[in-house]
Amino acid sequence: MLTLQFIPYMEIDGLTSVKRISKLLKLVKSDRILLLEGKLKPHEEAELIRKTMEEIDHKFKGIEISNIYPESKEIAMFHKVKSRFISMILGDRKGFTIIGPASIIKEIKQDPEKIQLFTTDEPKKRK
């Protein structure tokens, strides 16, 4: 069974970077695909990847991660400045991040119009 879990920005906003990464990694290791409102800071994303690499074993094959960040090229300069100012105050809530186990997510393709998330079939369990 495929489990998608939406995580609103407010759920991780008050956490330290270490606790935020631990929470996300724990959820991914329980075979969930996370839809995170907003995106991680660059150093948090790098730390998540580093920590993931340390925990790879025969059961946990790693993660797939992708940021979806809608940015219209036709937005007026005033709106861009306003949007950046709000992001500085409230956190980067624009777009979202998809994080999932590499054993389930085969590929994430994105373009301005759509997101395609390709998953693998669940392997048959041996008796």
Residue (of 72, 63, 73, 74) closest to 40 by Cα position: 63
Element (H, E) at 109: strand 105-110
In angstroms, what CA-CA distances link 8 with 5, 78, 104?
10, 27, 22
Give residue 21's pLDDT.
Answer: 95
* 48 within 8 A of 120, measured Cβ to Cβ: no
Q: Can you tell me which residue has the tokens 């085969």?
A: 106
CA dihedral for 72, 75, 81, 83, sign (positive or negative): negative
Give residue 48's pLDDT.
Answer: 95
- Where in 17-95 does DSSP place strands (E)? 32-37, 63-68
Residue 102 CA to residue 84 CA, distance in Å, equals: 33
Report pTM: 0.77
For the beta carbon of residue 3, count every other beta carbon within 10 angstroms.
12
127 residues of the chain, pLDDT tens digit each: 788 999 998 899 889 999 999 999 999 999 999 999 988 888 999 999 999 999 999 989 999 999 887 665 556 776 667 767 766 665 666 778 999 999 999 888 887 667 888 888 765 554 4
* Residue 77 DSSP code: H
